[in-house]
Amino acid sequence: MEKEKPFKLFVPPRLSSSQVSAVKPQTIGGDSNFFKGFNKCIEDDFGLPFGITKPSKHGENIDTDPVLQKVNFLPRIEEVGTNHSNFLEELKNPQFETSEPISRVYSKLYKEAEKIKKWKVNIEFELNQNEKKLQENRKIIEAQRKAIQELQFENEKVSLKLEDGIQENKELLKENNATRHLCNLLKETCAWSAEKSKKYEYEREETRQLYAGLNNNLEKMVQAFEELRVGAESCRQEMHFKLKEAYEKIQQLEKEHVKEVRDKEHKVSLLLMQIDEKELKIKDLKLLLQEYNDKINQFQEKMKWQNENLKESKDQQDHLMSELEEIKMSLQKSEISQKTLEEELQAAGKMIILLTREKEAQMEEISEAKITHSSVVAEFEATISTLKELLTTEQHRLEKNEEQLKTLILELQKKSSELEEEKLCKKNKELQLEEESKRTLEVNQKLLKEKKHFEMITEKLQATEIELNETLQIKEKEVHDLKVKFNTAVENEQNYLEQVAELKTELEQERLKSFELTVNFNKISLENKQIAQERITTIQESKKLQKDINDNKKQEEKMMKQIENLEETKNLLRDELDAVKEELKQKNEEVESKLNESEENARSIENEILKKDKQIKILENKFNSLKKQMENKTKSFEELQQENKALKKKSIAENKQLNAYEIKINKLELELDDANKRFEEMTDNYQKEIANKNILEENLLKEVEKAKTIADEAVKLQKEIDLRCQHKITEMVALMEKHKDQYDKIVEERDSELGLYKNKEQEQSMKKTSLEIEVSSLKSKLSSLETQLKIETEEKEKLLREAKENKDLLKERKDKKIQTSVSATSETSKWKFDSKKDASQNASLSVKSVDCGKSKDKEEYFWTPAKKSLSISSLKAYTVKTPTKMKMLQSEKRNPVKEGTIKKRKMLFEFDTNSDSSEHTDLLSMVSDEEQFQTLYKNYPKPSHPCVATPKMDHRPSSIATPGSALKFAAMRKMREDGWAAVSRVDRKKKMKEAEKLFT
């Protein structure tokens, strides 16, 4: 739409350029007016001599068609101008040069008139031709005006479209802004979505990890559960096995228990049997007990007796035992004493022997020592003397020792007393003696050792010999004493031995006694043992018996208890028996009474029986009769049975038939049931199908509704599309019309080109027919003359008026006439040509030269307007040429354009497609349909459009074809647009209304 603007705005000037004849009056309006006035003046001038018909026609021509005449008239006018000038000169000359004869003037005038007449005839013919041309041109102009109006309308349409386009542009701008806003929003949303997507990705990863964790946990849980299950199963199985085992154990235990119970029961039964047996035994034992009791009593008596005996024997035994013990004690004592004594004896004997031997050895040694000592004494006598002193000292000691001896003797005496005492207590003293003897032996040994020591000492110390001698003496004394003692001891020993012998005898006696006693004791002990054994046996027996007795007692007690119980029961039974007896007695009484009664009854019954026997007899008779009847009836019954059998057979057959029928009926019923089922199934199926079909119907109805809605929408869309199509059709029609107009334009252009060629040919023909040009020049001269004539007539009229006016003035001022005329002429000339030079020339010419300078003046005069005309023509040419140039340019451009019109149309289509990108397919599709639409809408838009569309298509190819020249045209366009804008703005509203009225 935007691109169409310049074209459409550029249209009107192009129209002017294209239509040369139409544009001229606008551009050269001033000239036309000038010439109008000029012509009018001329006509006025001509009106007087030649009549009023011509100028009227001329005036009409001028009024009606000032534009068309220009092209053809201009040269003529120029010629007329020239002629006129000449004629004016001629006219002026006779006015001013009255000297020349009027006849010549008249003849000239006549000739001129004849020429004018001829010229007039020619002119009239030309005028008629021109009028015809004018009419044609008028028609063309009207058509063009209409075309212009239509173009304006189209322009307005286009402007409307433009406004729509602007609005669309605005909308597009808004859309743009909206899109920009959307872009920003999109950016924000993109950023937002990116952030969100990042967040979501993070969350997704988290969720994924969580899912993985969950899966792991679940698997772990599953495993744990399975493990639990397995554990539970294992536990259960274990428990099951344990339970089974326990149950088996229990069963075994139960069995065992049962067995035990049975065994126990058996045992119990056995025990019961045993009890029975034992009871029997107890009974036997009781008997035995009684016997044993008797025996026990006997035994007890015996026991008592034996006990007494025993007690006696025991006392005896005790006595004996005491005696024995005493004896044993004495024996033991005696034995011990004997043994001790024997030992003492043996020891003493041994000791004595040993002592004797030792003493003998000692004696021998002493004797030898005496010998040695005697020898030594001799030797020592010397020393004795020396030792006598020592003796004296030692005599003191001896005295002391004597005192000690005395003390010792006392002690001995005491000891002897003690010995005596010890004699009483033999053993101790003997032991003491033995010990003393031992001690003495030991002392002897010690003494021997001491002796040895002493000998050693004597050998070493002779001084001690005396002491030793003394001691020897003492010891000899002591030995004597000891011998005495020994003798006494021996005596004692002998006494003791005697005593021992006595004791031995006593012992032997006692032993014998003890033997006897032991024999007696043994006997008694044996007896005792026997008795004890017997006793033990008896005691055991008695114990057993006691146990038995105890058991028996217990049993007895039990039995007693049982017996008591039994007695109680017996008592109870006795009571019961008593009661029963009483009852029996009562019953006996009753029975007796009843017996009596029954006897009575029997009697009565016997009577009745007798009666009934009679009745029986009667009944037997009846029975016999009935038997007969029965036989009859049995016969009839047999017959009936036979009949029944037959009937039964029949009934069986019928039953069979019935069964068959029933089977058939059952089959039929089954079939019926099946049929019913099938029917029901079929009905169900049909119902289901019906329901399904109903659903399908509903669905289909919904679909139909949807389809209806879709159809409605489609209809709406169709309508909209139709509207759009109509719009597009109109647009396309317009486009087609434009194309047609293009073609028409091209045709017209070709026609115009042809016209140009024709013009060229005409020009050539004009060149060829120079004579014709001369004729035309003459004609122009004639026209100029006519104009001059008109002017002259006007001048004449003016002059006449002036003359009439100035007659009085002329009368008053005759000298000033010429001057006034001159001034008038000068003024007229000035008014005529707008050039002072011409006026001055005219004035100078009019003043200086009248006849001689005619040709020159004519030439000059002719030249001056020729110049003018040239200038004007140049102007005209410019004005004319601009469109021609444009035309030429266009033509020049169109020659290639015509060659490449098809391409440019394609370009046009492409442009259109580019302009409406959304609908280009439709447009292209519509292009094919254009012909159809043309056929359809032939009558409707065609007649109006060819004229309308012509200007449009002129410029498109040019504008499109010449992109370089577009800038030049753009300037032109702007200028023209401004002009047109001014026009259109002023008249838009009115035209809008008109256009609305027209096009709506």
Stretch that binds other proteins, among 230-238, 406-414, 602-610, 910-918 (CB under 8 A): 230-238
| Binding letters toward other proteins, positions 651-690, x by CB under 8 A | ----------------------------------------
Shortest approach of other proteins to residue 176 CB, angstroms?
5
Q: Which of 106, 211, 623, 757 binds other proteins (CB under 8 A)?
A: 211
Geometric angle at alpha carbon 703, from 700 and 708, rounded to 5°: 125
Geometric angle at alpha carbon 148, from 26 and 969, rounded to 5°: 70
Residue 255 engages other proteins in binding (rule: CB under 8 A)? no
Q: Which of 52, 102, 221, 425 binds other proteins (CB under 8 A)?
A: 221
Residue 229 engages other proteins in binding (rule: CB under 8 A)? yes
Structure-block tokens of residue 883: 């469109």
Residue 924 engages other proteins in binding (rule: CB under 8 A)? no
Residue type, 433: L
Q: Whose Cβ is closer to other proteins: residue 205's or residue 265's?
A: 205
Shortest approach of other proteins to residue 230 CB, angstroms?
9
Q: Whose Cβ is closer to other proteins: residue 183's or residue 616's?
A: 183
Shortest approach of other proteins to residue 159 CB, angstroms?
7
Q: How far apart are CA 487 and CA 492, in angstroms?
A: 8
Q: Which of 52, 222, 610, 700 binds other proteins (CB under 8 A)?
A: 222
Residue 540, helix vs strand vs coil: helix
Shortest approach of other proteins to residue 151 CB, angstroms?
16
For the CA atoms of 648, 654, 660, 665, what is the dihedral angle to 10 degrees? Answer: -120
Residue 174 engages other proteins in binding (rule: CB under 8 A)? no
Residue 197 engages other proteins in binding (rule: CB under 8 A)? yes
Q: How far apart are CA 399 and CA 381, in angstroms?
A: 22
Q: Is 901 exposed, middle or buried (0-12, 13-18, 19+ CB in 10 A)?
A: middle
Contacts of 149 (CB under 8 A, 6+ apart): none
Q: Which of 97, 100, 136, 201 binds other proteins (CB under 8 A)?
A: 201
Q: Which of 108, 117, 118, 187 binds other proteins (CB under 8 A)?
A: 187
Shortest approach of other proteins to residue 186 CB, angstroms?
5
Which single residue is written with the structure tokens 């005409």?
762
Q: Whose Cβ is closer to other proteins: residue 223's or residue 300's?
A: 223
Shortest approach of other proteins to residue 912 CB, angstroms?
18
Q: How far apart are CA 873 and CA 857, in angstroms?
A: 22
Stretch that binds other proteins, among 75-83, 145-153, 186-194, 821-829 (CB under 8 A): 186-194
Q: Which of 53, 107, 128, 179 binds other proteins (CB under 8 A)?
A: 179
Per-residue b or e along 498-521, where b marks 16 or more CB atoms closer than 10 Å to that residue's CB:
ebbeebbeebeebbebbeebeeeb
Q: How far apart are CA 456 and CA 448, in angstroms?
A: 11
DSSP 52: S
How many chain residues touch other proteins (CB under 8 A)? Answer: 49
Q: Whose Cβ is closer to other proteins: residue 918's or residue 928's?
A: 918
Q: Which of 26, 53, 128, 215 binds other proteins (CB under 8 A)?
A: 215
Q: Which of 170, 423, 611, 938 binds other proteins (CB under 8 A)?
A: 170
Stretch that binds other proteins, among 169-177, 409-417, 776-784, 908-916 (CB under 8 A): 169-177
Stretch that binds other proteins, among 25-33, 233-241, 535-543, 849-857 (CB under 8 A): 233-241
Shortest approach of other proteins to residue 182 CB, angstroms?
9
Q: Which of 104, 108, 180, 993 binds other proteins (CB under 8 A)?
A: 180
Residue 360, helix vs strand vs coil: helix
Helix axes 53-64, 102-424, angle to 10 degrees: 10
Residue 941, helix vs strand vs coil: coil
Q: Which of 20, 48, 109, 172 binds other proteins (CB under 8 A)?
A: 172
Shortest approach of other proteins to residue 232 CB, angstroms?
4
Shortest approach of other proteins to residue 174 CB, angstroms?
11
Residue 593 engages other proteins in binding (rule: CB under 8 A)? no
- Contact (CB, 8 A) for 425 and 417: no
Structure-block tokens of residue 750: 């070709």
Contacts of 22 (CB under 8 A, 6+ apart): 15, 16, 67, 141, 144
Q: How far apart are CA 838 and CA 862, in angstroms?
A: 11
Which single residue is written with the structure tokens 């289909």?
700
Q: How far apart are CA 531 and CA 524, in angstroms?
A: 10
Stretch that binds other proteins, among 77-85, 143-151, 240-248, 614-622 (CB under 8 A): 240-248
Q: Which of 52, 71, 190, 618 binds other proteins (CB under 8 A)?
A: 190
| Binding letters toward other proteins, positions 727-766, x by CB under 8 A | ----------------------------------------
Stretch that binds other proteins, among 37-45, 207-215, 698-706, 942-950 (CB under 8 A): 207-215
DSSP 5: H
Residue type, 819: Q
Residue 793 engages other proteins in binding (rule: CB under 8 A)? no
Shortest approach of other proteins to residue 191 CB, angstroms?
9
| Binding letters toward other proteins, positions 147-166, x by CB under 8 A | ------------x--xx--x
Which single residue is written with the structure tokens 């091209």?
746
- Contact (CB, 8 A) for 147 and 947: yes
Q: How far apart are CA 413 and CA 434, in angstroms?
A: 19
Residue 193 engages other proteins in binding (rule: CB under 8 A)? yes
Stretch that binds other proteins, among 74-82, 226-234, 301-309, 622-630 (CB under 8 A): 226-234
Residue 986 engages other proteins in binding (rule: CB under 8 A)? no
Q: Whose Cβ is closer to other proteins: residue 248's or residue 600's?
A: 248
What would the DSSP string read from start to end of 189-252? HHHHHHHHHHHHHHHHHHHHHHHHHHHHHHHHHHHHHHHHHHHHHHHHHHHHHHHHHHHHHHHH
Residue type, 119: W
Shortest approach of other proteins to residue 178 CB, angstroms?
10
Length, in residues, of the chain: 1000
- Contact (CB, 8 A) for 65 and 134: yes
Residue 3 engages other proteins in binding (rule: CB under 8 A)? no
Residue 202 engages other proteins in binding (rule: CB under 8 A)? no
Stretch that binds other proteins, among 199-207, 373-381, 642-650, 784-792 (CB under 8 A): 199-207
- Contact (CB, 8 A) for 832 and 791: yes
Shortest approach of other proteins to residue 179 CB, angstroms?
5
Task: List phi, psi (to 5°) of 461.
Answer: -130, 105
Q: Which of 225, 679, 686, 831 binds other proteins (CB under 8 A)?
A: 225
Q: Whose Cβ is closer to other proteins: residue 198's or residue 881's?
A: 198
Q: Which of 525, 503, 508 is nearest to 321 (CA)?
A: 525
Contacts of 895 (CB under 8 A, 6+ apart): none
Q: Which of 102, 121, 232, 971 binds other proteins (CB under 8 A)?
A: 232
SS3 content of the chain, % helix, strand, coil (to 5): 95, 0, 5
What would the DSSP string read from start to end of 100-155? S-HHHHHHHHHHHHHHHHHHHHHHHHHHHHHHHHHHHHHHHHHHHHHHHHHHHHHH
Contact residues toward other proteins (CB under 8 A) are: 2, 5, 9, 159, 162-163, 166, 169-170, 172-173, 176-177, 179-180, 183, 186-187, 190, 193-194, 197, 200-201, 204, 207-208, 211, 214-215, 218-219, 221-222, 225-226, 228-229, 232-233, 235-236, 239-240, 243-244, 247, 977, 981
